[in-house]
Structure 1
Amino acid sequence: MSSIGTGYDLSASQFSPDGRVFQIDYASKAVEKSGTVIALRGKDGVVLAVEKIVTSKLYEDDAATRVFTVDKNIGIAIAGLHADGRYIVDIARQEAQNYRSQWNANLDFEKGDRTIPLKILVERVSAYIHAYTLYSAVRPFGVTVIIASWNQEDGPQLYKIEPSGTYFGYLACASGKAKQQAKTEMEKLKLGDMTTEEIVKNAGKIIYQVHDELKDKDFRLELSIVGKETNGLYQMNPEKWLNMASEAGQAAKMDDDSDNDI
């Protein structure tokens, strides 16, 4: 940080002379040290893909997962501090359950249950994250949250919430170490016309292409999907789609390596 910020980074409630909140900048730095997380929204669904860095070979395969279920048609992927991310996932689950308890009591059984609209969930979670940037007794969450859902009425939806509490809707987004490289690859895609199979394959390709083998040798691909192909249910690491993404990613990586050898 520049010298102009000296002494102004001790509290999340204090602005520096140039109008910055350094605690939020530090939270964003924590996200940048995380494995890459991407999300692609096609015409029929949304795919979340994670480059989970393996820091110990002694861990179980599902240890420190970065994809989570919030409700039957809503899922989350996190980049940044894992403990912070799990806490935000719990907040999202509480909001989804509160909405279900409040509204389903007024519905007839034949109409089925009603899950929280994604826009409302994102607004509530982002407000909670933003509150932690306002007081000196707390610190901002060092995590970026990517939330996806699909339903028959609204189709695929995708949002990303930053450590500041800011959120936007996306066709595709990325966070983590190789965010800029992933964004460059995603900008080449015509996402609005792509089927679920196509976005799954492209998600696998991007994760394998942006992985830096020199810095982080071992990683596991985590993938979750929600859309018409899953009948509106959010699925984590489904074998069919995970294998498809891994094969596409490994093939793309081999092609890149062969091109570099020429």
Structure 2
Amino acid sequence: MSSIGTGYDLSASQFSPDGKVFQVNYAAKAVEKSGTVVGIRGKDCVVLAVEKIITSPLYEENAASRIYTVDKNIGLVLSGLLADGIKLLSIAREEATNYRMQFDRTIPLKILNERLSAYIHAYTLYSAVRPFGAAVILASWDEVNGAQLYKIEPSGSSFGYFGCASGKAKQQAKTELEKLDLKNMSTEEVVKNAGRIIYQVHDELKDKEFKLELSMVGKEVDGLHRIEPSIWYEMAIEAGNAAKKEDDSDNEV
């Protein structure tokens, strides 16, 4: 770090002379070192896909998962520090439970996004705490609002997306997403592209082993958030392997 920032990174409530909060920047760096995460919003569904790096062959197959269900039609995916993300997951579930107890229905994703992003932002304001080193992507589908996708940064800022990415290969994934006509994509197209992008951005030289984690919510799964639904999950893996073989053959030529 340059001398201009020396001593200004000890507290989340302190700005450097050039207007930066270094603690928030460090949290963002933690997210950038995580496996790639992609969220794609199609016409009738939202698909979440994760490049889960396998750091030890001794782990159980489903250990350290990054995709979770918040409520019956709301999915959440984490990138960055997993322990920080799990804390945010518990807050999201608590908010969903409280809303259901008060109003007897599922919390709208927009409201959940606002509450969770406000909670994350609060941890960038006080010197007694530090920012969460995790980014959160939220997805849902219902008959009234259709498909919805939000991403919350470690700073607490959040936006609605048709497609978003986080993690190591965030920029590569975003470049691939920008090529797609996301608004008009069918469920099958969304699933295949999610698998394809994760396999294409995976760096075999740095991280040899990884597992594709995938979930979806939409019409095809009765409006429920499903983690690794069998037919769709296999479709995503097939599309990913096909894209990887195509890239390998192009490199050989």
| 1:1-262 matches, cutoff 5 A | 1-104=1-104, 114-262=105-253
C-alpha displacement of 1:2: 2.4
CA distance in 1, matches of 2:127, 2:230: 45
* AA at the equivalent of 1:252: A
Query: What is the SS of the residue equivalent to 2:38?
Result: strand
* AA at the equivalent of 1:103: F
C-alpha displacement of 1:241: 1.0
CA distance in 1, matches of 2:188, 2:2: 46
CA distance in 2, matches of 1:139, 1:3: 22
C-alpha displacement of 1:116: 0.3
After superposition, the C-alpha distances for 1:33-53 in whole angstroms (9 at most, x for unaligned) are 000000000000000000000
Q: Sequence identity of aligned pairs in percent?
A: 72
C-alpha displacement of 1:76: 0.3
Structure 2: gaps of 5 or more residues: none
* Structure 1 segments of 4+ aligned residues over 4 angstroms from their partners: none
Structure 1: gaps of 5 or more residues: 105-113
* AA at the equivalent of 2:12: A
* AA at the equivalent of 1:65: S
After superposition, the C-alpha distances for 1:102-161 in whole angstroms (9 at most, x for unaligned) are 012xxxxxxxxx100000000000000000001111000000000000000000000000
CA distance in 2, matches of 1:3, 1:23: 16
* AA at the equivalent of 1:223: L
C-alpha displacement of 1:238: 1.1
* AA at the equivalent of 1:207: I
- TM-score between the two structures when normalised by the length of structure 2: 0.99
- TM-score between the two structures when normalised by the length of structure 1: 0.96
CA distance in 2, matches of 1:19, 1:254: 46
Q: CA RMSD in A?
A: 0.5
CA distance in 2, matches of 1:3, 1:200: 47
Query: What is the SS of the residue equivalent to 1:127?
Result: helix
Query: What is the SS of the residue equivalent to 2:220?
Result: helix
